[in-house]
Chains A and B, each alone.
Chain A
Amino acid sequence: MSEGGFFQRRRGLSPELQDAQVQIEALARSYGLDFCETIFEVCAYDEINMIAAYGGFPTRYPHWRFGMEYLQMQRGYEYGLQKIYEMVINTQPAYAYLLDNNTMMDQKLVMAHVLGHVDFFTNNAWFTHTNRKMLDQMANHSARVRRYIDRHGVNEVESFIDKCLSIDNLIDPHRPHIRREPLRSESGVSSSTIDVDQGRFPAKQYMDKYINPPEQLAAAAQLQTDLKAQASTFPAEPQRDVLLFVLEHGQLQEWQQDVLGIIRDEAYYFAPQAQTKVLNEGWASFWHTQMMTQDLLTDAEVICYADHHAGTVAMRPGSFNPYKVGLELLRDVEERWDKGQFGSEWMACEDVAIKRDWDTGAGLGREKVFEVRKTHNDVTFIDTFLTEDFVRKVGLFTTEYDRSAGHFVIGSRDFAEVKKQLLAMLSNQGNPVLKVTDGNHGNRGELELTHTHEGPDIKLDWARESMANLAILWGRSVHLVTRIDDREVTLHHDGTDFTADGLKVPEQEESQQKVAE
């Protein structure tokens, strides 16, 4: 695929850009970055917008939301509101796109930044299980979806995809890294009857007592009974991968299973990028600043660079910029390990003056940041390295909604609060954690999900729409156990009607629903 289709129209890099690529790659390697082959493409803004709308993959399956995102980006660009400087996808070789009318300084910056990303994709542990041939995989997905569209019609397939997308955040992002108990299948349970004779070896009658001791047979029978008791809860353990559960047990036709599988594959492919947004952008920014300021900038480019970089790491009031926080925190880690500001002695020291001038000359900073990029994701990165001094230095605060004022106000600058808020935002990418707790609710084959309530309530009008879709996928009623306003409630949806234990649910604005012509 990499040589066919979209990329046949590839425009070669100009000699100037080729030279820059060679120079920057050599430079990056000299700093210790370790990246796979990276192919840069030069694109016009409408092409880069298209690729961005497709999440970096020009070979995605057809769906209206890509068209909508494209339209938004086109408008944004045409009105001068936004511009996509760069994009890189996690494949081998990695593809990166450069905007054709960027200045040379921008292109160098983007190349340096992109190599940071590619190094991260290649080495970070959370990306170990991603498919590096995703470009081909996406093309396969596309071919399959197109085939189903030919067979079943665009409306049917599209509305099915809409329903799948509606629950595509209900996955288990850690799944690729852990081998969990295999699911006991429903049919497997019902067909296994307790067989007292199981485990009995063939033996002549007079030897039977010795070859098959009765107590051992009894134990085997007991085990069977236990297993069956366990299996009567289905799934045996709450399962976070709702998509997989529906895929395996929902009432779906074959093509529907395949489409749901496609949506699930893609959700898992993109999950590590969402898990490492802060660290990944921080890492890439860390290296573009290093390379640009130390090696690549010409005198004439300094002002433009400073302007561009300031724009990248600017935190607008009230918004959180992963570039800024990631970059600053990595620099902080490097400085601390260079000066030896870690370990029990450092922790035990309470004298501010001593701490301020603390420098053991350890010089371990570079080594440490490379270790961080290898092993951490956003949650562990913030959890391990965010310090009180850092929060104060950078000026982080939490924001909260002031009902009376009707807007967000500064909540707290307290270290514990800031850290808690950051971690809450980054855990599970800010999505509520839902688990399948019962696949045979009320012995009617209905689906029960339980929300692990961690503070914020879920949004009821959205939950209603989503549950409606889930009920259709599952084929029977769906129940969601959660807490709203400190009260445990169970939401029900049977595909047409929604009840919420007497709670009042705001109508979703009709204008936001999709009505195809």
Chain B
Amino acid sequence: MILNIETDLNRFKQIVRGKVRKELKRYMSSGELIGKQGDKLVSIPLPEVRIPRIRYGENQTGGMGQGDGEQGESAEGGDGSQAGNAEGQHLLEAEISLEELAEIMGDELELPRIEPRSATQLSSERDKYTSISITGPEALRHNRRTYRNALKRQIASGSYNPSQPLVIPRKDDRRYRSWNTKNEPTSAAVVIYMMDVSGSMGREQKEIVRLEAFWIDTWLRHNYQNLETRFIIHDAVAKEVDRDTFFRTRESGGTLISSAYKLAMKMIEDDYPADQWNVYPFHFSDGDNWSAADTKSCLDLLENDMLPRVNQFSYGQVDSEYGSGQFYGDLGERMGEDERVAISRVPNRDGIMDSIKDFLGKGR
């Protein structure tokens, strides 16, 4: 049943989208959306939209209450609600699909659409009932075709009498619905997130990475039908973990960035053949590396092995109190000009929007 309200509800949802668009920066730099993420939808908390009217100030009028208590005692219950003409701040939860969110982000940040890299794309097989066969289960019998065949046969054999139009199908008249297998091209991508979890990356830095990952996922999912995500944490050694562990782990100790790159490279070689996958490695760190020698081996590995295999390598440097930020400079010096490399510095939460633009603005 369609309720009359649908139109008004949709109109309101448009207003919600307008709001998200307008305040995208705020939503991007706060974690509000991520906690409320479902499979296809995110809940967006926003204050009730109110029609302004000339009215009294909330704290001017006072209110009424009933019950026990002495003068001067608090008159509020647990929820701090108040009577009379004062309305509390109502929070609304409106939903918006990830698809829409990605579109809004794409529009606002002017992100180009991504051209999938691999020419021969991954294809998937799908069965569709589009043809007819002469055998099959009775449940799939195609009555119209069956009777048409019977009629044809009867006319051809002269046993059809138009004044008494009786059509009786025989076994060989029967036709059944049948399927064809179709290959449909799909585009697939994998995002490999790498993060430095050494002592110098604090809680806030990880939160920033988490937010970045949410928006990167949202955008790439909008561009590719299949999106896989893999997570690698590293200090002096690297290991693969699941999403939760990725954002929660805090280790102490040194940092060898090359360990992560080696592991990522192994992953790519083992699981993601270049002709079928678009590969996006993202590396987040505070820019500290153990030694200049390791940095050099990182850059060599990047240049010689990884870059030819991936769409784009992205490095995000999250500023922290302890990090030196050296790696950013080293990387930029050697490969800053390379089309396949995106590097960005995120000084704080407000920088998230710009860095997303740095990462995804190349359309690769």
Q: Which of A's residues lie within 8 Å of B, judged by CB? A: 6, 9, 46-47, 50, 53-54, 58, 62-68, 70-72, 75, 154, 158, 162, 165-170, 315-321, 324-325, 394-403, 405, 407-413, 418, 421-422, 424-425, 430-432, 434, 455-460, 462-467, 469, 480, 508-517
Contacts and interface: CB of A to CB of B under 8 A. Distances in A.
A516 B49 CA distance: 11
Say what secondary structure dominates the interface of chain A. mixed
A372 B10 CA distance: 45
B84 interface: yes
Nearest to A408: B75
Contact of B71 (A9, A325, A411, A510): A411
Given A68-B12, A410-B70, A457 B81 contact: no
A320 B3 contact: no
A318 B81 contact: yes
Contact of B12 (A50, A58, A71): A71
Given A320-B84, A324-B66, A465-B52, A67 B8 contact: yes
Contact of A50 (B3, B18, B65): B3
Contact of A399 (B58, B82, B92): B82
A255 to B, nearest CB: 19
Nearest to B92: A72
Contact of A410 (B50, B71, B93): B71
Contacts of B69: 317, 397, 410
Given A68-B92, A169-B54, 19 more contacts: A50-B3, A62-B11, A167-B53, A317-B65, A318-B65, A319-B64, A320-B64, A320-B83, A320-B84, A397-B71, A398-B64, A409-B73, A409-B74, A410-B74, A410-B75, A425-B63, A425-B83, A430-B61, A458-B57
A395 B22 CA distance: 48
A408 B57 CA distance: 14
Contacts of B4: 6, 50, 54, 58
Nearest to B46: A511
Q: Which of B10, B11, B94 has the most CB of A within 10 A?
A: B11
B54 A407 contact: no
The 10 A-B residue pairs with the shortest CB-CB distance in the complex, in nearest-first order: A465-B52, A67-B12, A67-B8, A517-B18, A430-B85, A456-B60, A320-B83, A67-B9, A401-B59, A317-B77
B54 A432 contact: yes
A474 B93 CA distance: 36
Contacts of A395: 66-68
Interface of B: 1, 3-5, 7-15, 17-19, 21-23, 46-77, 79-85, 90, 92-94
Nearest to A426: B84
Contact of A513 (B7, B17, B49): B49
A72 B89 CA distance: 13
A70 B53 contact: no
19 contacts: A47-B3, A67-B10, A68-B48, A70-B5, A75-B93, A167-B54, A168-B53, A315-B67, A396-B66, A399-B65, A400-B62, A407-B74, A409-B73, A421-B63, A431-B85, A456-B57, A459-B60, A463-B54, A469-B52
A396 B67 CA distance: 7
A421 B64 CA distance: 7
Contacts, number: 250
Q: Which of B10, B77, B84 has the most CB of A within 10 A?
A: B84
B52 A46 contact: no
A380 B25 CA distance: 53
A515 B64 contact: no
Given A62-B11, A517-B18, A456 B65 contact: no
A515 B58 CA distance: 25
A467 B53 CA distance: 9
A320 B12 contact: no
A392 B42 CA distance: 51
Contacts of A410: 65, 69-75
Contacts of A154: 11
Contacts of B76: 317-318, 407-408
